[in-house]
A and B are shown apart, each in its own frame.
Chain A
Amino acid sequence: MGLEELYREVILDHYRNPRNQGHLEHPQASAQGVNPLCGDEITIEVSFDGDKVSEVAVDGQGCSISQSSASMMTEAIKGKSRNEINKLVGRFRQMMSLDEGDDLGLDPERPGAVLGDIEALQGVRQYPVRIKCASLGWNTLLEALDA
């Protein structure tokens, strides 16, 4: 397990070219997340079509892990219902070893397999201090949806 596992090409790509960056004109939900220890900041704005996310925008600054994680997350949640998003967040947290248990029926060897590109972030698990970087966008999303 080395740096190549942490800094996979897909992560660097999302860091350099973040998707869905900026702000929505009329967001229906939004939240700001800050990691006070390292100063990473993120703003997430969401619009819905019925129960499903129609648009999402992310703005912020921080390290490659926090920014790429948020970027990949925006791609993953588009078109998904709140229920589906909650499941996705659950899987992400499990991949980061933040939540215990296999009630989601995930492959213990590859808990991120259902997450697509996001699985690339599983290398972060080996760097405990960086897990909070990877989680910042996801926690902020949950706050936006709960608000």
Chain B
Amino acid sequence: MTDLSYLKADFPILDNGVHFLDSGASSQKPIPVLEAMDRFARTSYANVHRGAYKLSVASTEAYEAARRRVADFIGATDEREVIFTRGTTTSLNTVAFGWGLENLAEGDRILATEMEHHANLVPWQMVAKRTGATLDHVPITDDGRLDMAVLESKLGPDVKIVAVTGMSNVLGTIPDVPRIAELAHRHGARVVVDAAQLVPHTSVDVHQLGADFVAFSSHKMLGPTGIGVLWGRMDALEETEPFEGGGEMISDVTLHDATWADIPHRFEAGTPPIIEAVGLHAAIDYLDSIGMDKIFEHDQELTAIALERLVDVPGIAIQGPTDMKDRGGVVSMTMEGVHAHDLATILDEQNVAVRAGHHCAKPLMRSLGVTATARASFYVYNEEADIDALVSGLRRAGEIFGVN
């Protein structure tokens, strides 16, 4: 068992004994991240890219250092391909509205998977309506994996972009993005990956992934809220128009027109999340000091234990892959005769924090034939004791509701 228990002391929020199993929604923040932001705000903070004074220079340097750190972390060879956004949702909307409105027209098809989070689905619905393009879907198989055969059959010259999750926030499924990108590129389609669940939990190299756009959030990877990343391949970013206009993103402005600043700044209108960038930088340092491979291994071990033990709980059904092949540390479950909200309330009484509901993936829930699931998701600070508490809480729920 990969032992990361030495990290727990870095997360004061866990001191009261909460079994925090909702990192898939948002992760907790370790002291080094909090301290880095605090130190920066106390000593080096000013707005970026516009002041001639020393503080602004220091602040700009810290902000751009964060960009280089992100680029290095995800294997981006060109730091200009890293755009700071408010989070995954804004990153994906930048692709949908910035790239989609420019490059989609009637007769074109957008291909999205059935397991997309609303953030990688709803923007495409909006853009489809505006451009006249159609939105088509790739279903999942009975064991909760992406149906690659259907995906392959649905690709064609009219498909202009494929929207796929890097790891399902409901099922934990990790689709074969490199293969999907290879297939899509054969038809000249772009590929956008919602990597919100992937980047925090495994070592990601954007070039190995092979996609054109990769989106993720800081707050799910031990960093602060309010900042996320859109990585785009340079030629894909060159096809993309800024989605927001304002300060910082222009080269010249007259009363009637404006020209854009260079990439990436043309995509960063307004004052960016500067302190948050410093926090994200510290979070990446923290993750790297543990080692992404070790984190993946740790999540995998906990997930395997959870899957094994949950099977023995009366009435429990796992939604999604039940073996460890190509899946991450997200486990969705239902209990026969007990609604997910009731499970969450009863688990909360035992100090176990899980997410209950549709997880912003209503089409997927319909396809699974369930209305809600309870979801446990694991991260660096979790340990086997959290699974013990989860299992004992679920048994208690079964007792209250008379599930045998």
Q: Interface of A with B (CB < 8 Å)?
A: 2-3, 6-7, 12, 16, 37-41, 61-65, 67, 127, 130, 133
Say which residue of A39, A41, A61, A64 sits within 8 Å of B342 (CB atoms): A64
Closest chain B residue to A60, Cβ basis: B371
A-B pairs, 4 with minimum CB distance: A63-B339, A63-B341, A39-B358, A38-B357
Known: A62-B371, A64-B401. 4 other contacts (CB 8 A): A3-B396, A37-B357, A40-B371, A133-B341
Say which residue of B341, B358, B371 sits within 8 Å of A130 (CB atoms): B341
Structural contact, A12 and B362, CB atoms closer than 8 A = no
B56 within 8 A of partner (CB): no
Task: List chain A residues, Cβ under 8 A from B341.
Answer: 38, 40, 62-63, 65, 130, 133
B349 within 8 A of partner (CB): yes
The 22 sampled A-B contact pairs (Cβ below 8 Å) are A2-B349, A3-B346, A3-B396, A7-B401, A12-B400, A37-B357, A38-B341, A38-B357, A38-B358, A39-B362, A40-B341, A62-B339, A62-B371, A63-B339, A63-B340, A64-B339, A64-B401, A65-B341, A67-B339, A130-B341, A130-B345, A133-B341
Taking A7-B400, A12-B401 as contacts, is the C-beta distance between A39 and B365 under 8 angstroms? yes
Taking A3-B400, A7-B400, A63-B339 as contacts, is the C-beta distance between A39 and B372 under 8 angstroms? yes
Closest chain B residue to A124, Cβ basis: B345
Interface string of B332-343 (1 = CB under 8 A from A): 000001111110
A2 to chain B, nearest CB (A): 7
Say which residue of A39, A127, A133 sits within 8 Å of B371 (CB atoms): A39
Structural contact, A127 and B365, CB atoms closer than 8 A = no
B280 within 8 A of partner (CB): no
Q: Cα distance A6–B396 when bound, in Å?
A: 14
B107 within 8 A of partner (CB): no
B356 within 8 A of partner (CB): yes
Most buried by B among A3, A61, A67, A130: A3
Task: List chain B residues, Cβ under 8 A from A39.
Answer: 357-358, 362, 365, 371-372
Q: Cα distance A81–B325 when bound, in Å?
A: 60
Q: Interface of B with A (CB < 8 Å)?
A: 337-342, 345-346, 349, 356-358, 362, 365, 371-372, 396, 400-402
Structural contact, A65 and B342, CB atoms closer than 8 A = yes
Q: Cα distance A130–B343 when bound, in Å?
A: 12
Say which residue of A3, A12, A38, A127 sits within 8 Å of B356 (CB atoms): A38
Structural contact, A38 and B349, CB atoms closer than 8 A = no
Task: List chain A residues, Cβ under 8 A from B371.
Answer: 39-41, 61-62
Task: List chain A residues, Cβ under 8 A from B356.
Answer: 38
Structural contact, B342 and A63, CB atoms closer than 8 A = yes
Q: Cα distance A3–B401 when bound, in Å?
A: 11
Structural contact, B402 and A12, CB atoms closer than 8 A = yes
Task: List chain A residues, Cβ under 8 A from B338.
Answer: 64
Q: Cα distance A67–B356 when bound, in Å?
A: 17
Q: Cα distance A62–B337 when bound, in Å?
A: 11
Structural contact, B345 and A6, CB atoms closer than 8 A = yes
Q: Cα distance A110–B372 when bound, in Å?
A: 33
Q: Cα distance A64–B396 when bound, in Å?
A: 16
Q: Cα distance A95–B400 when bound, in Å?
A: 24
Closest chain A residue to B350, Cβ basis: A3
Task: List chain B residues, Cβ under 8 A from A3.
Answer: 345-346, 349, 396, 400
Q: Cα distance A67–B341 when bound, in Å?
A: 12
Task: List chain B residues, Cβ under 8 A from A12.
Answer: 400-402
Q: Cα distance A65–B345 when bound, in Å?
A: 11
Closest chain A residue to B365, Cβ basis: A39
Q: Cα distance A37–B338 when bound, in Å?
A: 18
Task: List chain A residues, Cβ under 8 A from B337.
Answer: 16
Task: List chain A residues, Cβ under 8 A from B349.
Answer: 2-3
Task: List chain A residues, Cβ under 8 A from B345.
Answer: 3, 6, 127, 130
B384 to chain A, nearest CB (A): 25
Q: Cα distance A3–B372 when bound, in Å?
A: 21
Task: List chain B residues, Cβ under 8 A from A65.
Answer: 341-342
A3 to chain B, nearest CB (A): 5
Task: List chain A residues, Cβ under 8 A from B372.
Answer: 38-39, 63
Q: Cα distance A51–B402 when bound, in Å?
A: 41
Q: Cα distance A33–B341 when bound, in Å?
A: 17
B158 to chain A, nearest CB (A): 34
Task: List chain B residues, Cβ under 8 A from A16.
Answer: 337
Q: Cα distance A2–B341 when bound, in Å?
A: 16
Q: Cα distance A101–B329 when bound, in Å?
A: 48
Q: Cα distance A69–B339 when bound, in Å?
A: 14
Most buried by A among B339, B340, B396, B400: B339
Task: List chain A residues, Cβ under 8 A from B346.
Answer: 3
Task: List chain B residues, Cβ under 8 A from A6.
Answer: 345
Closest chain A residue to B362, Cβ basis: A39
